[in-house]
Amino acid sequence: MSRSRPTIRGARWLLALLALVGALTLVAGCGGEDEPTAGGDSATETESSEGTSSTPTEEGEPAEKADYEKGVRDALVAVTQTQDTLDEITDAKTSDDLAAGVAELKTTYDAVAEDLAGLTPPEDVADLHRRLVDASNEIAQAAGDAEESIRGGDSDTGGSLFKKAGSKYSETLTKLGEEYSAKGYEFR
């Protein structure tokens, strides 16, 4: 019996990943009409709520609300753009292909966590931001653990680990989205 073919049960958790990305897209509100168009350099300059231009803050200095919202939105957009990776995982013919796809997701989640950690939030959302960074680090770690299980020949355990972490991440982002919104922050 070859361990190179992912099991059907192992493939079921992949469908949960698709649902997770859908949920993250709703929470983050990214990838819609608000994306900058070619020629616009919104990464360097943004409009603040007072109608004046503001540039990103010095490292360690709390960001202006609009700059912070943009920073979070920019970091989370990577999560919403994982559809190609999920398609590759769904179409995986071998455990190696499955593990490679999960490794790519881990890289994405690591980058998201790093980008978020690089932001200095306004004081009124510092705790929410810390929880967002922690959740992003946890999903990255879970993807690494899942990859390790899959490469070790146990795609069912790998899938279970990541599905559980993905559900927790989705729930955490939903709750954080509600809490940010209650404080007047939107990431759409």
Q: What is the pTM of this model?
A: 0.71
- Measure CA 68 to chain center: 16
User: Taking the CA of residue 34 as centre, how many other CA atoms within 13 Å lie in the half-sphere pointing to its CB?
Assistant: 13
Q: Give the number of other CB atoms < 10 A from CB of residue 44.
A: 9
Query: Structure tokens of 136?
Result: 């992003």
Question: Per-residue pLDDT averaged across 72-95, rounded?
Answer: 81
| Selected residue with higher pLDDT from 127 and 5 | 127
Q: Which H or E element spans position 135?
A: helix 126-151
Domains of the chain: 8-30+59-182 (1.20.1420)
Read off the pLDDT band of 171 (50, 70, 90).
confident
